[in-house]
Amino acid sequence: MKFIEKISALAGKYFAVLVILAAVVAFLYPPAFLIFGGYITILLGVVMFGMGLTLKPVDFKLVFTKPILVIIGICAQYTIMPLVAFALAYLLRLPPELAAGLVLLGSVPGGTASNVMVYLARGNVALSVAMTSLSTMMAPIMTPLLIYLLAGQWLPVDPVAMFMSIIQVIIIPIILGFLIQKFFPVAVEKGVTVVPLISVAAILIIVAAVTAANAGNVVAAGFLVFIAVFLHNGFGLLLGYLVALMMGLGENERRAISIEIGMQNSGLGVALATAHFSPLAALPSVWGAIWHNISGPILATYWANKSIPENDEKIKKVM
């Protein structure tokens, strides 16, 4: 078990490198990975099941003790990223499928990797976990609604079908994982160290499958999509920090909200794009899975080495 724990820790540490390798190998040898295309939603369900195994009631504590703080973060999450994606799609004149895919990436909830990045950045981890958990639970309503409003001009959007997909792929696996953890805590505690390894493996297969399906498109539109994802992520990190600053939040909270907004659940973006649009529409989320796990550690490392002023006001008393 200790050996598996070490492998799991290494997989988490070098996740960005592994994602890049998976994408490169799938691009060079696409036939070997095309078979996994039909299992993307199942694989994402496995990842969400793992999240449910580690989810605890205390993760929602901040929602009740500091509701305004969480509301600020969630509102920023579901406004900044979708609107920035919409604006970039127009400014860069992306083709319809890529435009819809970018808006989809901006409309999904925050990714679980953001919690680790906030911890490394010395941010407010409790706020990050609360935002990830709550935004994920709100996804069945918010994600289809935002995509319907912002991306419907490019591709037909069925919000009801998308709602059902998110319930099946996200909510049900999370609830199952949470219940198993609740009723079988000892068994879960013994095996929970393996969960990150399984989640990493599932995400790598998802990235490889979508890259293989888009091998030709990567050459034709790969650079343009990367620029769009790069700008989208950068604006999300910057605007998230500025919103928290304008609301009078402390440096710890600014870092948490910035990272939480900038890092999206790219796996969900891939699954929804593949199921409801096309493999090409999933390309922005594939690039997101790669770039978010590069920019996140870079920013976390920068902040980890930057001290927080002693007189910094953590949270206004009104919060």
Under the banding of pLDDT at 50, 70 and 90, the label for residue 315 is very low
Amino acid code (one letter) for 162: M
Percent residues over pLDDT 70 in the chain: 93
**Cβ(131)–Cβ(260) under 8 Å?**
yes
Kindly tell me if the per-residue pLDDT of 269 is higher than 80: yes
Percent residues over pLDDT 90 in the chain: 24
Kindly tell me if the per-residue pLDDT of 116 is higher than 50: yes
Q: How are the residues of the chain apportioned to helix, strand and coil, as percentages rounded to the nearest 5?
A: 85, 0, 15
Residue 171: DSSP 8-state: I
**Using CA of residue 246, residue 145, residue 227, residue 21, what is the dihedral sign?**
positive
- Considering the chain, what is the average pLDDT of its residues? 83
Most confident among 207-211, 279-283, 303-307 (mean pLDDT): 279-283
Locate 212 and state its tokens.
């293989």
Question: What is the predicted pLDDT for the residue at 312?
Answer: 60
Query: How much is the average pLDDT of 60-66?
Result: 75
Locate 210 and state its tokens.
């979508």
b (16+ CB within 10 A) / e for 141-175 = ebbbbbbbebbeebbebebeebbebbeebbbebbb
Kindly tell me if the per-residue pLDDT of 316 is higher than 70: no
Cross-strand pairs, 110: 264
Residue 216 belongs to what H/E stretch? Answer: helix 215-246
- Distance, CA of 113 to CA of 253 (rounded, Å): 17
Under the banding of pLDDT at 50, 70 and 90, the label for residue 136 is confident
Kindly tell me if the per-residue pLDDT of 39 is higher than 80: yes
CATH topology of domain 35-304: Na+/H+ antiporter like fold (1.20.1530)
